[in-house]
Chain A
């Protein structure tokens, strides 16, 4: 394993105290005086650096009547910078020109849990400091111009109205509402929720973006000293803040009963979604569920769902299942699209596959196939800087051990069929699931 990662600088091993002695993928971690935690993987072969900064300021902290606040706040950070310390204000066009001129990019977005900022730059000495300085200004001094928010609100509202004419959107909305029972994970951004969001709300949310709350993940052709400088510079223009603990967000409630929704829609295909609340990322069943779902519906052409729905019956181009674990129990989702007149059959087949898998668990042959794929193909999960950054940010955000990637294949190897069966029985109740069918009368006529 330790010859696997050719980009890890050999010199670094001596310098680092944090990494285990023979790590396949040496991760360095340290805390800055500000409280920011920095995670680094050195990857010297290309003159590129990628940085991700994550903050506990995602959509789950949106007020119920202002769904979408975290996301639009993140988006608005690219719409202009304030003047400060002798540097002039930049409007949205001057800012995007400045990024283009550097051949670099800086983006912001909010997911369910985190608000994330990503920088990609070349590491040439005449470019990198400029890119870091501009990113620091954008992170620290977004101007949140009122008139641009007004325009963006109109654009977003229009795209929501357009999305509402698509069956997939209608199905996704109904599914989220039914699965999450009012939890913020199920909030949908609507024209109305956007109408409640003001620039003052954004500035308030943005107070959560503080150095002491930052998880900074860095991958690229930089050493620890350079990475530390980059992290320091990026966070330098943010207010220090006291970082008192944030209010807890409630957990996703379990479903009490099955729910079935048929929604009429004129479309070439019916949209089918079946599921329920899943599990949290910190769940001890994580690995059995990961391996099990590969077998059930995560494994492309070879999954059970794909075999039964697509290969044997030709019912659907795409059928899948996935868990979406986060700070809270993200949904388990089984999805497919099919011609309306065969939707009932597709729903029945999918439910049978699911019920049987939960009741019986995987076969030994399926366990072997899953492990062969996951262990054999582990290198493909980390063979570029951008994949490494995703993994590093995942470790940072979820407080996973620094040797997580070194032990990942062992954790997969250890999983037994009995553990998969037990984990699925604990997490999934096929008789208490939500079924949404848009564009064909199916869900309520089952069994």
Chain B
């Protein structure tokens, strides 16, 4: 599983002259690289298809995004979306367990998959001439995934090892797991993507089969193809293989809205570590579309605020907290969630410097926000983060994978095909006054959850932890 904190959706290139910032330290004024536009359409069975030709090299990326992630699970069955992601490699009627990966490797391809709160994604990077082979394989497992129970049992043990590796032996990851559980009460964002260990212990093969039947339906998925491809030819292949999958209704989703928070929440997490660690999570509005609502404008301004605080080396937070003789932190971070299928947070973190406490770091982080709320930000800072975004749009074109990821990621949250360009345009229009206003509006106590990692000494002679349930192997 690869989990992504979508801190910021990188926007695509648009026009090149920057806003009329008179004190602009630099301008990016060259011509944008010529790009073929992506094409999006729907198959009769509801499958969304997105094709983005990019002919720099004879390779292609083929991805399937399914709009199902851990947020679509229910209590007691956490980790199911991710477990199913693993089982998708375990075969179909025609492809035996393990055979999928062997065939992709034989094509010279690389492959993997990932699950997040919002989606499950599968991808292959291949020589463009082998596109049909992976379309055939991927559409087959989307429609016909099946495997015996013993494959499920073994893979479940692999997933538990994955949880131990990523979370149980990583105190900061555990802190974030608990921070989500504390910040959200009703939203399914409260639960870890990989699942609680006791839910994994009790998970059954049929749980995964039922989840698969329910959510892996054409109208709940998109295929994204980027690379050295001809749109008309790709359409033929996609129509043939994905178009022949029978349509099914997408199940109704329950809203499960998070009730409004009215007061600060705090948690301490104790674990063997040397440094303490503090994370602040403020609930903020999210970007759902590009309308002119307060919610949209504030989400955009919060993203600019995050970049002004931590968008480049030596930005405000670094300068204020990690430098100077009385520095309070060894490292700091800030960023806005911006968009997702569920509620978003603006997060700030810090590692206290030697002799400083998490409480001092928390106060210093909040003081920086208060300073923006009081004094605003300079045009030079604003311009600087925007220049970086514009340049980042060109650099991003160097990677096919990034292009495909972005198109799929936008589809998952319901944003249009040209979301990146619109996002960049809107971000560049954010003013210093808007940044100042959101700094004053969203950073009180009422929407805040604070998590602190309190270090325990490492006792090398203590016995290893034992698993919650004894596992029997064949």
Instruction: Answer yes or no: are A and B bound together in one complex.
Output: yes
Interface of A with B (CB < 8 Å)?
A: 3-7, 45-48, 78, 92-93, 95-104, 120, 122-127, 130, 151, 154-155, 158-159, 161-162, 164-168, 263-270, 299-302, 307, 310-318, 337-342, 369, 372-380, 382-386, 439-440
Of A45, A123, A151, which contacts B56 at CB under 8 A? A45
> Is the Cβ of B398 less than 8 Å from the Cβ of A384?
yes
* Residue B263 lies at the interface, judged by CB distance under 8 Å to chain A: no
Alpha-carbon gap, A96 to B319, bound state (A): 11
Q: For the complex, what is the distance from the CA of A219 to the CA of B8, rounded to whole Å?
A: 28
- Which residue of B101, B106, B275, B394 contacts A372 across the interface (Cβ within 8 Å)? B106
> In the complex the two chains form, is A373's CB within 8 Å of B30's CB?
no
Task: Decide if B106 touches A315 in the complex (CB within 8 Å).
Answer: no
- A/B interface sample: 18 pairs, CB < 8 A: A46-B33, A48-B398, A93-B323, A100-B313, A101-B387, A102-B387, A103-B388, A120-B395, A124-B30, A162-B273, A300-B110, A301-B89, A314-B157, A314-B473, A316-B161, A339-B161, A340-B464, A373-B105
A384 to B126, CA, bound (A): 14
Q: Is B177 interfacial (CB 8 A cutoff)?
A: no
B185: min CB distance to chain A, Å: 28
Chain B residues, Cβ within 8 Å of A6 = 55-58
Interface locus among B162-170, B199-207, B237-245, B434-442: B162-170
Measured between beta carbons, the chain A residues less than 8 angstroms from B58 are 3-4, 6, 379, 383
CB-CB under 8 A for A301 and B98, given A122-B394, A266-B460: yes
Given A5-B57, A385-B398, do A159 and B330 touch, yes or no (CB 8 Å)? Answer: yes
Q: Is the CB of A165 within 8 A of B102?
A: no
Q: Are B399 and A384 in contact (CB under 8 A)?
A: yes
Measured between beta carbons, the chain B residues less than 8 angstroms from A440 are: 464
Say whether B464 contacts A315, CB under 8 Å: no
Contact with A along B431-474 (1 / 0, CB 8 A): 00000000000000000000000010011111111110001010
B323 cross-chain contacts in A, Cβ below 8 A = 92-93, 151
Task: Give chain B interface residues in 80-121, CB to chain A under 8 Å.
Answer: 89, 97-98, 101-102, 105-110
Is there an interface contact between A339 and B164, defined as CB atoms closer than 8 Å? Answer: yes
In the bound complex, residues from chain B placing their C-beta under 8 Å from that of A266 are: 272, 458-460, 462-465
A318 neighbours in B (Cβ, 8 Å): 165
CA–CA, A101 to B473, complex, Å?
Answer: 58
Please give the distance in Å from A174's CB to the nearest CB on chain B.
Answer: 13
Q: Out of A96, A154, A301, A314, which one reaches B156, CB within 8 Å?
A: A314
A227 to chain B, nearest CB (A): 18
Residues of B within 8 A of A5 (CB): 57
B292 within 8 A of A: no
Q: Report the separation of the CA atoms of residues A103 and B387 in the bound assembly, to the nearest whole angstrom.
A: 6
Residues of A within 8 A of B130 (CB): 376
A338 to B464, CA, bound (A): 12
The 3 closest A-B pairs by CB, nearest first: A376-B108, A103-B391, A377-B108
- Classify the interface of chain A: helix, strand, loop or mixed: mixed
Query: B54: nearest residue on chain A (CB-CB)?
Result: A45
Query: B154 CB to closest chain A CB, in angstroms?
Result: 4
B231 in the interface (beta carbon within 8 A): no
Asked if A372 and B398 sit within 8 Å, CB to CB, the answer is no
CA gap between A96 and B467 in the complex, in Å: 47
CB distance from A150 to the nearest CB of B (A): 10
For the complex, give the distance between the alpha carbons of A3 and B55 in Å: 12
A127-B26, A164-B458, A270-B464 given; name 16 further pairs at CB < 8 Å.
A45-B56, A96-B313, A104-B391, A122-B28, A126-B30, A162-B275, A267-B464, A268-B464, A317-B158, A317-B159, A318-B165, A341-B467, A375-B108, A377-B110, A377-B126, A380-B126
Residues of B within 8 A of A383 (CB): 56-59, 400
Give Cα A155–Cα B322 distance, bound, in whole angstroms: 9
Known: A45-B33, A120-B395, A385-B398. A300 touches B169 (CB 8 A): no
Contact present for A376 and B107 (CB under 8 Å) = yes
A318 to B153, CA, bound (A): 17
Cα(A30)–Cα(B145), bound, Å: 55
Residues of A within 8 A of B107 (CB): 372, 376-377
* Nearest B-chain residue to A337, judged by Cβ: B165
Within 8 A of A (CB), among B242-288: 272-275
- Given A266-B463, A338-B161 in contact, is the A373-B394 Cβ separation under 8 Å? no
Q: Which residues in B have their C-beta under 8 angstroms from that of A300?
A: 101, 105, 110
Is B127 in the interface zone, CB < 8 Å from A? yes
A231 to chain B, nearest CB (A): 21
Task: For residue B460, give the distance in angstroms from its CB to the closest CB of chain A.
Answer: 5
Smallest CB separation, B171 vs chain A (Å): 8
Query: For B399, what are the chain A residues with a Cβ–Cβ distance below 8 Å?
Result: 384, 386
Contact between A165 and B98, CB atoms less than 8 A apart: no
Q: Does B354 contact A (CB under 8 A)?
A: yes
Chain A residues near B462: list those with CB within 8 A: 266
The answer to whether residues A101 and B26 also contact, given A302-B102, A440-B464 and a CB cut-off of 8 A, is yes
Residues of A within 8 A of B30 (CB): 47, 122-127
Give the distance in Å from the alpha carbon of A314 to the alpha carbon of B27 in the complex. 55
B288-343 residues at the A interface, CB under 8 angstroms: 311-314, 319, 322-323, 327, 330-331
Chain B residues at the A interface, C-beta cutoff of 8 Å: 25-31, 33, 55-59, 89, 97-98, 101-102, 105-110, 125-127, 130, 153-162, 164-165, 168-169, 272-275, 311-314, 319, 322-323, 327, 330-331, 351, 353-354, 383-385, 387-388, 390-392, 394-395, 397-400, 455, 458-467, 471, 473
Identity of the chain A residue whose Cβ is nearest the Cβ of B98 in the assembled complex: A311
Q: A269 contacts B314, CB within 8 Å?
A: no
Most buried by A among B25, B33, B106, B463: B106
Given A103-B388, A167-B169, A377-B127, also A439-B157 (CB < 8 A): no
Q: How far is the CB of A51 from chain B (nearest CB, A)?
A: 14
Q: Is B460 touching A337 in the complex (CB atoms < 8 A)?
A: no
Q: Across the interface, which residues of A come within 8 angstroms of B27, CB to CB?
A: 126
B165-A158 in contact (CB<8A): no
Kindly state the separation between the CA atoms of A240 and B32 in the bound complex, as whole angstroms: 39
* Known pairs A155-B331, A266-B463; A103 contacts B110 (CB<8 A): no
**In the assembled complex, how far is the CB of residue A48 from the closest CB belonging to chain B, in whole angstroms?**
6
**What chain A residues lie within 8 Å of B467 (beta carbons)?**
339, 341
Please indicate the chain B residues that have their CB under 8 angstroms from the CB of A313 in the complex: 154, 473
Which chain B residues border A4 with CB–CB below 8 Å? 57-58
Residues of B within 8 A of A168 (CB): 169
State how many angstroms separate the Cβ of B358 from the closest Cβ of chain A.
14
Q: How long is the Cα–Cα vector from A385 to B56 in the complex, in angstroms?
A: 10
A130 neighbours in B (Cβ, 8 Å): 26
CA distance A159 to B353 in the complex (A): 10
Most buried by B among A127, A159, A165, A440: A165
Q: Which residues of A contact B314 (CB under 8 A)?
A: 92-93, 95-97
Min Cβ gap A49→B in Å is: 11
Q: B394 CB to closest chain A CB, in angstroms?
A: 6
Residues in A whose Cβ lies below 8 Å from that of B155: 314
* Minimum C-beta distance from B269 to chain A (A): 15
The interface residues of chain B lying within 8 Å CB-to-CB of A386 are 398-399
Interface centre among B105, B130, B164, B385, by most A CB within 10 Å? B105
